[in-house]
Amino acid sequence: MEKTGSRSTLRLFRSRLKEIANDDHLPDYSFNVDSSDKVTFFSRKPVEALPLFDELPRLRHDTINRAKGIVEGAGTGWDFHALHEQFTESLISGKFMPDNANGAFIAFVKKKVLEAP
């Protein structure tokens, strides 16, 4: 109860939580509360099959460090981790599969820092 910030009694908290679960009005999730008070959430969105991460190209550490330096040096406000995530998502989605992932990532980062967010 402390982690939720609720000031209700444990009994009332359980009751309200079960009521929310039974009403089933959360837009993206449903959830249930079992007899031991374990809460389990379920996504309403269909699970998409993702490629195995072992099949994705890996970036070298020097590439990561070089890209971080480019982002920091540009001073555009881009977050390196956000750019890395965008690049990874484009690989996962199959939008492209470069022959040289390291070179493609550096080119991607350079292009992004030219376009301030």
> Where are the domains positioned within the chain?
10-43, 53-114
CA dist., res. 16 & res. 22, Å (int)? 10
Cα-flanking dihedrals φ and ψ of residue 68, to 5°?
-60, -45
Confidence at 47, pLDDT banded by 50, 70, 90: low
Q: How high is the pLDDT of residue 49?
A: 57
pLDDT, mean of residues 66-74 = 91
The tokens describing 82, both together, are 């956000």
pLDDT at 100: 92
Mean pLDDT of 87-106: 86
Task: State the average pLDDT over residues 76-93.
Answer: 87
Which runs of consecutive H residues, i.e. helices, occur in the chain? 10-23, 61-74, 80-93, 101-114
7-36 mean pLDDT: 88
Q: What is the pLDDT of residue 95?
A: 75
